[in-house]
A and B are shown apart, each in its own frame.
Chain A
Amino acid sequence: EPEVTQTPSHQVTQMGQEVILRCVPISNHLYFYWYRQILGQKVEFLVSFYNNEISEKSEIFDDQFSVERPDGSNFTLKIRSTKLEDSAMYFCASRDRSPLHFGNGTRLTVT
């Protein structure tokens, strides 16, 4: 069964550094998403992406965040200057005419 894959599985960075989280969505899917989950809490929407542009974003997704689909397969989330409170699991998801399919996430730890 096709899967959403995310790399790295764990990223440790220092406060103020830039990080890029990478995702390969399921190949025939057209809608792409980033969600985050602070330890032990619920899954929170960050941004959705369709037709090479952001279709919706939450209040969390401020100017420090950006997304890109640099080629036909990858979908990336960049955090320009990380803060301690950015520490969380970041999940990529994709869909077509279907439920969201999630990857196993990248655990981001900001020290």
Chain B
Amino acid sequence: GESVGLHLPTLSVQEGDNSIINCAYSNSASDYFIWYKQESGKGPQFIIDIRSNMDKRQGQRVTVLLNKTVKHLSLQIAATQPGDSAVYFCAENIKNYGQNFVFGPGTRLSVLP
């Protein structure tokens, strides 16, 4: 059944350390994946995306890794900062245009001083 929101998985990291947030996606036909960051009271904010013809993509301080064999997606954040504290969602899309994105349950990242 649906997970209860108050039991959102939480990752606590020390400021300056690297963070790795994981996501298991559901559909082997998904061909486009996005990581979103959601701060309290705001909408999801785009971080980075990756298409299924790639297994790694890098942005500024962030890297997304895709393992299609095990349907696993990860987000790596280098040198985690207090401003990175938020809930992180992965989203998958089966068709490229005009179709819905399915969101994962989310992981709360807490950066400790």
On A, residues with C-beta under 8 Å from B are: 4, 31, 33, 35, 38-45, 48, 50, 55-56, 58, 91, 93, 97, 99-105
Contact = CB atoms under 8 A, between A and B. Distances in A.
A45 B99 CA distance: 10
A50 B5 CA distance: 31
Interface in B22-66: 34, 36, 41-46, 49
Contacts of B86: none
A44 B42 CA distance: 15
Closest 3 CB pairs of A and B: A40-B5, A102-B43, A41-B5
Interface residues of B, number: 26
B98 interface: yes
Central interface residue in A35, A58, A99, A104, by most chain B CB within 10 Å: A99
Interface of B: 2, 4-6, 8, 34, 36, 41-46, 49, 89, 91, 97-106
Contact of B43 (A31, A39, A104): A104
Contacts of A40: 4-6, 8
Contacts of A44: 103
Contact of A105 (B43, B89, B106): B43
Contact of B100 (A39, A41, A58): A58
B44 to A, nearest CB: 5
Given A39-B5, A40-B8, A55 B43 contact: no
Contact of A48 (B6, B41, B43, B99): B99
Contacts of B44: 43, 91, 100, 102
A76 B21 CA distance: 34
Contact of A38 (B5, B36, B42, B98): B5
A104 B60 CA distance: 23
30 contacts: A31-B97, A33-B100, A33-B101, A35-B103, A40-B4, A40-B8, A41-B2, A41-B4, A42-B89, A42-B104, A42-B105, A42-B106, A44-B103, A45-B100, A45-B101, A45-B102, A48-B99, A48-B100, A55-B99, A56-B98, A91-B44, A97-B97, A99-B34, A100-B34, A100-B44, A102-B45, A104-B41, A104-B42, A104-B43, A105-B42
